[in-house]
Copies of this chain bind each other. A is one copy, B any other.
Amino acid sequence: MSTPDNSILGLKMPTDPRWVDIASVSLEEILTDHAFCEQKAATQSISLIQRYPDKIELVNALSPLVTEEWGHFRMVWAEMKKRGYTLGKQRKDDYVNLLLKYEPKNISANDKLLHKLMICALIEARSCERFKLLSENLKEEGLRKFYYKFMISEAGHYRLFIDLANSYYSVDHVREAWMQWLQIESKILDELSPRGDRMH
């Protein structure tokens, strides 16, 4: 699998280049934040299954994803222990909370699902971009390889959410929603100053 780049994932706004410099000197915080990003991804997929148990393709696609995301939490935790780091407290995730504010409210559960899937795809795409930066810029070779693997996974998860959306809605409808969400995300990223002690 080749290295995904921003244009493939469609993100409008590249990450501020200062981010990776700060991240590389805040490894314990970055790894803690990364571990909790994986936890939130697992929790988010569990919550989609709880909300849409009647959607068989969704339950089929997200059940193994939960196992994988939680496996990633454990991989990050194992890496932290190897380094003598401790798992810190989970921080408020401004990036995700801002995205959720744009979720349309007064629509049916069925229409809401499209937006929920777009938000999941977006978070995976942005994580993929950040992991790419870490995989290219961290000093330690071991960590660069570690983040290369995560980057590939996130690209796959982004695809999974887009494919799932395409299985429930028309391709045009999904493309239109995706374009809107890309705009929203780039606006949000522009408002947030880059903080190197967390993933987003």
Contact = CB atoms under 8 A, between A and B. Distances in A.
B39 A89 contact: no
Given A54-B86, A54-B87, A46 B49 contact: no
Interface in A58-100: 59, 63-64, 66-67, 70-71, 73-74, 77, 81, 86-90
Contacts of A10: none
Chain A interface category by residue count = 20 to 34
Contacts of A90: 50, 53
B73 A63 contact: yes
A86 B90 CA distance: 36
A1 interface: no
A43 interface: yes
A173 to B, nearest CB: 25
Residue from A46, A81, A90 with most neighbouring chain B CB atoms (10 Å): A46
A41 B85 CA distance: 27
B36 A50 contact: yes
Contacts of A56: 81, 86
A165 interface: no
Contacts of A66: 42, 70
B43 A59 contact: no
A90 B53 CA distance: 8
A74 B66 CA distance: 10
A53 to B, nearest CB: 4
Nearest to A69: B70
B39 A87 contact: no
Contacts of A77: 59, 63
Contacts of A73: 63
What 5 A-B pairs come out closest when comparing CB atoms?
A: A53-B87, A63-B74, A66-B70, A50-B90, A67-B70
Given A43-B46, A70-B70, 10 more contacts: A36-B50, A43-B43, A50-B90, A53-B87, A53-B88, A54-B86, A54-B89, A59-B77, A59-B87, A66-B70
